[in-house]
Structure 1
Amino acid sequence: MKKIITLLSLCIVAVLQAQDIKLTTKDNDLKLTSLPYYNFGKGVGLTSSDSLFQFNVRFRMQNRLSYVDNEGVDPFYEAQVRRLRLRFDGYVGNPKILYVLQLSFGVGDVGAVKPNENLNVVRDAILYYKPSQHWQIGFGLSKLPGTRQAVNSSGAIQLTDRSINNTRFNIDRDFGLHLANINEFADKFSYNFKGAVTLGEGRNWTSTNKDNNGLSLTGKVELLPFGKFKKDGHYFEGDILREEKPKLMVSGVYNFNNKARKSQGQTGDILFENKDMSSVLLDAILKYRGWAFMTTYMQRSSHNPITVNPLDATQTKAVFTGNGQDFQLSYVFKSKYELIGRFSQQNVNKDIKAYAPDTNQYSFGVNKYIWEHALKLQGEFTYENQFYDAAPTKNNWYVRFQIEIGI
């Protein structure tokens, strides 16, 4: 084993010397709008001496322990590496030609192994062309321009998970063409336009079907009436930088997914037949002197959302249609402790009442930021009421501790 390690080390050194690559102290933040990561840490970067190649590597990890008590089920402890990510980015040949690769290994990222389906290790694999500071064109797999919480990295959120509405109504990642026009200024009205033309099948989909000739079309408008946030503060939750002036972003998204195969568009169960879906996503984020407020409205609709197995009429699956609202308020003390509260309400459409309950969820969290979001301790208590159409109300709760670390 020692010989193998020594040989690998010598090979790495030889490659670095042959390419005359050196460590760089420059800021390697690519500042691409659809990149799903939080970035106060810059990772470890290598740049060639002729500046024709840059390679940067980062990682992040979430370790958590939960106690879960769901009505009708025996309480249980859950301990897991919720997320484990490796991320590589840089440019080749020209700083305007950028690449991003993100791999996931945590149980919550990869999911269970299913017959005839891919193991979803690849989260992002996209090539960008950035002709100017205002325009970005990407081709590959990345996040769609959804709500603020969906676009933010899971490492940059205040509670241990995104809201139940994000889980159900998020348009998530997809493969295709990603576009952005960015117009952000320090202290004056700013605006961004974003869009995507994608396959609508979600990440890392490879199966083919003769009926699969639909596309997903996404458009988004972002408005910042008081100018941009400190250090791209609209890409992380909580006012950890304590904005001296009020900063606000409001945004609206429309997505149409033609002939979608999954119950939630890019995610969810495989339906028995393809369905057209449309989603409307509205949100706002406000930060000022340690206070932060976020609110979101999410809605998905589909004509006749029930699908039936053509081989067995007793088996059905439904598009998850309905709407939800999130309200989240927090305050960061100068000691870097933070208190967070969130209320989420989720309402399913009457057509699918037999498939899913209406849900109200209440969450309270306490955070300690050691190195902003890159190293933090999180505690959370969440309680929810589930209202079934033909069954009693269920009350569930959990308490959780989580450590986040990344570079």
Structure 2
Amino acid sequence: MRFFYYLVCFLFFSFSNAQINISQSKNDNDLKLTALPYYSFGKGLGLTSPDSLFQLNIRFRMQNRVTYIENDGENGAYDGQIRRLRLRFDGYVGNPKFLYAIQLSFAPGDVGEIKEGENLNIIRDAVVFYRPNNHWNVSFGQTKLPGNRQRINSSGGLQLSDRTINNARFTIDRDFGFQVHNINEYLDKFSYNFKAAVSTGEGRNSTDNPDDGIAVTGKAELFPFGAFAKDGTNFEGDIVREKKPKLMISGAFQQNNHARRTQGQLGNDLFEQRTMKSVLLDGMFKYNGWAAMASYMSRTTNENAVTINPLDVTQSNYAFVGNGFDYQLSYNTKKNYEFIGRYSIQKVGRDIEAFTPNTKQYSLGVTKYIWEHAFKVQAEINYDTLDYFDGTTKNNWYLRFQVEIGI
């Protein structure tokens, strides 16, 4: 409780001494909410009341894809689906200092299978903000935590159709709680951001019985040569063709106390709670159409990651522990054809190596930007090597075509 007391005192002191200076032109309905760094080439459909006391901005996007898949030892198969279908509302009420954001998802892969006793996962973001000036941003509700760069970025701002295998296993994703962001970004000089969050640690839309465990997250971002043009850290690839070299280095840490799920905020339920620690490091570089990204992610637990069902010792589940590296390089031509290569290595922790393989992933892709990331056509080939504890190896691959469009 003492921690929450100090947090409240800090916020009160910061707000009471903050100068109110929100730079927003009358024709600009892009609110740039730092806890939701979504990519947006346009600004959606905006409505503002005649007295300027209310603003509503509406956006949508969808991803349609078809994939040919060949897994080792299985017949080839075709998969066609609406991968993502999102509807988003944001704006302010009464004053631009008091903002809100709502994001809903409707695609089957987003909502997930409906299971008895579990909540329907339509709500992705439902969060209110207090932004006293351009340097401070405080939020309360459900949204993304300040974790690894690729997860923070919208799936609409990706170069390839999906995030990496390490992001799928080690990310900290969305949660319900408080966040405080201190933003200090300038185009032509050293810049930095500090972000912190205190959240439930249970993931989105959780209504499980409450416990005494919380998740604490902290992150620092450094920009040695100044901030990227057009908030360029919020999307992959150098689609704006940076005129000067730009670099971002960031590090995040989270401790999720008494986590109930296999991946902290994500995954299936564990039979016993585990305290998990995550380390997330990122680097991003862009210049004249070239873009490079590298990341490291890891998760550890306070005790053995494997949990046993106390009612049936033949049943077990495990926290996904281990670490991984991702490397990504791309070049965007002046005609907005981008060529992308990515390599990922994932090594599982010793506790779980008998249950799940170490994995390497190789990806090559071509993207045609019609309207930057808001309207693009993507093609890629992906090859996975899975090395199992018993010495066997499996090789899987897929070929994918995807179209994304949104406002």
TM-score > 0.5 by shorter chain? yes
C-alpha distance in structure 1 between counterparts of 2:269 and 2:313, whole Å:
16
Match of 2:253 in 1: 254
- The alignment's TM-score, normalised by the length of structure 1, stands at 0.93
- Please say if 1:116 is aligned against 2:117: yes
**Correspondence for 1:347:** 347
| 1:331 aligned residue | 331
Partner of 1:370: 370
Aligned mates of 1:25, 1:403 — CA distance in 2: 33
Q: Which residue of 2 aligns with 1:312?
A: 312
Contact 1:36 1:143 in 2 (8 A): no
Structure 2 partner of 1:43: 44
2:284 corresponds to 1:285:
yes
Residue identity in the other structure for 1:147: N
What fraction of aligned residue pairs are identical, expressed as a percent? 62
Match of 1:242 in 2: 241
Q: Secondary structure at the match of 1:268?
A: strand
> Distance in 2 between the 1:78 and 1:358 partners?
25
Matches within 5 A, 1:64-103: 64-103=65-104
Equivalence for 1:223: 222
User: Which aligned runs of 4 or more in structure 1 are off by greater than 4 angstroms?
Assistant: none
**Residue identity opposite 2:275 in structure 1:** D
CA shift, 1:72, in A, is 2.1
Deviations 1:222-244 (A, max 9, x none): 00000011110000000000001
Local SS of the residue matching 1:269:
strand
| SS of 1:126 mapped into structure 2 | strand
Matched, 1:197 2:170: no
State the Cα distance separating 1:122 from its structure 2 match: 0.2
List per-residue Cα deviations over 1:9-54 (Å, max 9, x = no partner).
xxxxxxxxxxxxxxx9712111111115211111101001111000
CA distance in 2, matches of 1:103, 1:31: 18
Partners of 1:172 and 1:225 in 2: CA distance: 27
Q: State the AA in 2 paired with 1:278.
A: K
- For 1:292-303, list aligned pairs within 5 A: 292-302=291-301, 303=303
Partner deviation per Cα, 1:49-96 (whole Å, 9 max, x = no partner): 111000010000000000010112221100000000000000000100
Structure 2: which 5+ residue stretches go unaligned?
1-24
Distance in 2 (CA, whole Å) between partners of 1:396 and 1:27 is 47
Partner of 1:382: 382
CA gap of 1:36–1:76, structure 2 versus 1, over 3 A, is farther
Contact 1:218 1:256 in 2 (8 A): yes
5 Å-filtered alignment, 1:257-272, equals 257-272=256-271
Provide the secondary structure at the position in 2 that maps to 1:166. helix
Name 1:17's counterpart in structure 2: none
Partner SS state of residue 234, structure 1: helix
Please state whether the residue corresponding to 2:36 is helix, strand or coil.
coil
Unaligned 5+ runs, structure 1: 1-23
Cα distance in structure 2, aligned partners of 1:194 and 1:216: 14
How many Å separate the matches in 2 of 1:202 and 1:217? 13
CA–CA distance in structure 2, aligned partners of residues 357 and 322 of structure 1: 11
Structure 2: how far apart are the matches of 1:388 and 1:25?
A: 58
1 CA distance for matches of 2:309 and 2:390? 24
Q: Deviations over 1:264-298 (max 9, x none)?
A: 00001100011100000001000000000000000
For 1:335 and 1:259, the matched residues in 2 are separated by 51
Alpha-carbon distance in 2 for matches of 1:236, 1:183: 19
Secondary structure of the 2:313 match is strand
3-state DSSP of counterpart to 1:313:
coil
SS in structure 2 of the partner of residue 251 of structure 1: strand
Residue 274 of structure 2 is aligned to residue 275 of structure 1: yes
The superposition leaves residues 354-376 of structure 1 with CA deviations (integer Å, 9 ceiling, x where unpaired) of 22100000000000000000000
In the TM superposition, what whole-angstrom CA distance separates every residue of 1:154-203 from its partner, at most 9, and x where no partner exists?
00000000000000000000000011000001100000000100000000
Aligned to 2:168: 167
Partner of 1:8: none
Verify the 8 A CA contact 1:193 1:220 in the aligned structure 2: yes
- Matches of 1:66 and 1:76 in 2, distance apart? 8
Residue 33 of structure 1 aligns with which residue?
Answer: 34
- Structure 1 CA distance for aligned equivalents of residues 125 and 355 of structure 2: 32
Q: How many residues align?
A: 382
Question: Could you say what the CA RMSD is over the residues aligned between the two structures, in angstroms?
Answer: 1.0
Q: Does 1:400 align with 2:400?
A: yes
